[in-house]
Amino acid sequence: MEPVTIPALHDHLPRVLAAVEAGRHVVLTRDGREIADIIPRGTPPAGTARERILDELVAGAAADRTLRDDLDALLGELTDDIA
Protein backbone atom coordinates (compact mmCIF):
# COMPACT_ATOMS: atom_id res chain seq x y z
CA MET A 1 0.00 0.00 0.00
CA GLU A 2 1.52 3.28 -1.11
CA PRO A 3 0.30 6.66 0.16
CA VAL A 4 0.05 9.37 -2.51
CA THR A 5 -0.93 12.99 -1.88
CA ILE A 6 -3.34 14.80 -4.20
CA PRO A 7 -0.58 17.08 -5.56
CA ALA A 8 1.64 14.03 -6.19
CA LEU A 9 -1.22 12.29 -7.98
CA HIS A 10 -1.70 15.38 -10.15
CA ASP A 11 2.02 15.61 -10.94
CA HIS A 12 2.62 11.87 -11.47
CA LEU A 13 -0.69 10.45 -12.70
CA PRO A 14 0.81 8.23 -15.42
CA ARG A 15 3.27 6.70 -12.92
CA VAL A 16 0.55 6.13 -10.29
CA LEU A 17 -1.76 4.52 -12.85
CA ALA A 18 1.07 2.30 -14.08
CA ALA A 19 1.62 1.14 -10.49
CA VAL A 20 -2.09 0.34 -10.12
CA GLU A 21 -2.09 -1.53 -13.43
CA ALA A 22 0.86 -3.54 -12.12
CA GLY A 23 -1.28 -4.63 -9.15
CA ARG A 24 -0.26 -2.07 -6.52
CA HIS A 25 -2.72 -0.62 -4.02
CA VAL A 26 -2.42 3.18 -3.77
CA VAL A 27 -3.93 5.21 -0.92
CA LEU A 28 -4.85 8.79 -1.76
CA THR A 29 -4.21 11.21 1.11
CA ARG A 30 -5.18 14.79 1.88
CA ASP A 31 -3.57 16.67 4.77
CA GLY A 32 -2.14 13.39 6.08
CA ARG A 33 -5.55 11.65 6.12
CA GLU A 34 -6.36 8.63 3.98
CA ILE A 35 -9.34 9.56 1.81
CA ALA A 36 -9.48 6.96 -0.99
CA ASP A 37 -8.06 3.68 -2.24
CA ILE A 38 -6.99 3.20 -5.83
CA ILE A 39 -6.84 -0.51 -6.61
CA PRO A 40 -6.68 -2.59 -9.78
CA ARG A 41 -10.18 -3.18 -11.14
CA GLY A 42 -11.60 -6.59 -10.30
CA THR A 43 -8.71 -7.53 -8.02
CA PRO A 44 -9.13 -6.88 -4.31
CA PRO A 45 -5.81 -6.29 -2.55
CA ALA A 46 -4.48 -9.41 -0.82
CA GLY A 47 -5.39 -9.66 2.84
CA THR A 48 -8.04 -6.94 2.77
CA ALA A 49 -10.84 -9.15 4.05
CA ARG A 50 -8.67 -10.67 6.76
CA GLU A 51 -7.46 -7.26 7.95
CA ARG A 52 -11.03 -5.94 8.02
CA ILE A 53 -12.24 -8.94 10.05
CA LEU A 54 -9.39 -8.59 12.54
CA ASP A 55 -9.94 -4.85 12.88
CA GLU A 56 -13.67 -5.34 13.48
CA LEU A 57 -13.08 -8.07 16.07
CA VAL A 58 -10.56 -5.98 17.96
CA ALA A 59 -12.29 -2.59 17.59
CA GLY A 60 -15.11 -3.29 20.05
CA ALA A 61 -12.84 -4.64 22.78
CA ALA A 62 -9.98 -3.29 24.78
CA ALA A 63 -7.70 -5.68 22.94
CA ASP A 64 -3.96 -5.58 22.86
CA ARG A 65 -1.55 -6.53 20.09
CA THR A 66 -1.19 -10.06 21.48
CA LEU A 67 -4.91 -10.75 21.00
CA ARG A 68 -4.77 -9.42 17.45
CA ASP A 69 -1.78 -11.67 16.72
CA ASP A 70 -3.64 -14.66 18.18
CA LEU A 71 -6.69 -13.91 16.03
CA ASP A 72 -4.47 -13.53 12.98
CA ALA A 73 -2.91 -16.95 13.64
CA LEU A 74 -6.35 -18.56 14.05
CA LEU A 75 -7.74 -17.04 10.86
CA GLY A 76 -4.66 -17.88 8.84
CA GLU A 77 -5.03 -17.31 5.13
CA LEU A 78 -8.55 -18.72 4.85
CA THR A 79 -10.35 -15.37 4.65
CA ASP A 80 -8.57 -13.84 1.63
CA ASP A 81 -11.52 -14.88 -0.59
CA ILE A 82 -14.02 -12.89 1.48
CA ALA A 83 -14.81 -9.46 0.08
pLDDT value of residue 83:
47
Tens-place pLDDT, residues 19-73: 988 888 899 999 999 999 888 887 655 556 667 766 776 676 655 667 767 777 7
Task: Please give the CATH number for the structural domain made up of 2-38.
Answer: 3.40.1620.10
Mean pLDDT of 3-14: 94
Following CA atoms 54, 77, 48, 18 in sequence, which dihedral angle do they give, to the nearest 10 degrees? 150
**Rounded mean pLDDT of 4-9?**
94
Between 35 and 82, the more confident residue is 35
3-state secondary structure of 18: helix
Report domain extents, the chain: 2-38, 46-83
* pTM over cut 0.85: no
CA angle 15, 18, 24 (to 5 degrees): 110
Cα separation, 19 vs 28, in Å, equals 13
